[in-house]
């Protein structure tokens, strides 16, 4: 049996975004540091698994609040979605990435009920490249592509992950 789940993720960018402090660097994206069960960490945009029966934006709003303390007031639409399949591991993942256009609250890390998020950073494009360097391609590539190209119509990224251990993964992009 193949396990399938949906994840939603948020791009929260400084600049003219209402609800954020004025002293943040313009054009920086909020990234969170995730501590994994094996002790490693990686960086992603805030978000998480959408619960069964939950709409993706409702789940994303909940996840952003849990992980960052920020409350998204308004979403600007889907930026891109990701389809990742790992046939050797028996899972399929769908990710929706939405852009926040209004937030409220203060950034606070430490209240993630899953205990995964352990840090945060407002990262301009160059810092995103560095922080996302060890992230999986299906996390890193679409965000860096959007930061570089700033499209308006949603795009889809497809990945096939071969192998059974992260250190041996071979990632293919059939959509290229």
- Report the pLDDT value the prediction gives residue 18, as an integer from 0 to 100: 75
Report pTM: 0.93
Q: What is the DSSP letter of 53?
A: T
Domains in the chain, please, with CATH?
A: 3-169 (3.90.79.10)
> Which regions of the chain are under pLDDT 50?
none
In this structure, the strands spanning 155-162 and 71-86 are parallel
- Report the pLDDT value the prediction gives residue 166, as an integer from 0 to 100: 83
In Å, how far are 2, 4, 55, 80, 94 from 59, measured between CA atoms? 22, 16, 6, 17, 14
Structure tokens at 133: 């360097």
- Report the pLDDT value the prediction gives residue 122, as an integer from 0 to 100: 94
- Report the pLDDT value the prediction gives residue 31, as an integer from 0 to 100: 97
In Å, how far are 23, 38, 160 from 144, measured between CA atoms? 24, 26, 19
- Report the pLDDT value the prediction gives residue 140, as an integer from 0 to 100: 96
């Amino acid at each position: 049996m193949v396990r399938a789940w949906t994840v939603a993720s948020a791009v929260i960018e400084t600049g003219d975004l209402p609800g954020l402090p004025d002293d943040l660097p313009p054009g920086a994206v909020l990234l969170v540091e995730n501590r994994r069960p094996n002790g490693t960490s990686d960086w992603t945009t805030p978000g998480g698994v959408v619960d069964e029966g939950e709409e993706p934006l409702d789940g994303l709003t909940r996840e952003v609040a849990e992980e960052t303390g920020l409350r998204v007031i308004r979403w600007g639409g889907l930026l891109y979605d990701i389809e990742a399949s790992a046939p050797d591991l028996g899972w399929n993942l769908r990710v929706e990435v939405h852009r926040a256009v209004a937030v409220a609250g203060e950034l606070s890390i430490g209240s993630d009920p899953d205990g995964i998020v352990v840090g945060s950073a407002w990262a301009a494009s160059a810092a995103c490249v560095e922080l996302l360097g060890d992230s999986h391609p299906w996390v890193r590539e679409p965000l860096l592509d959007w930061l570089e190209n700033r499209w308006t119509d949603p795009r889809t990224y497809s990945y096939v992950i071969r192998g059974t251990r992260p250190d041996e993964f071979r990632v293919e992009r059939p959509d290229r």
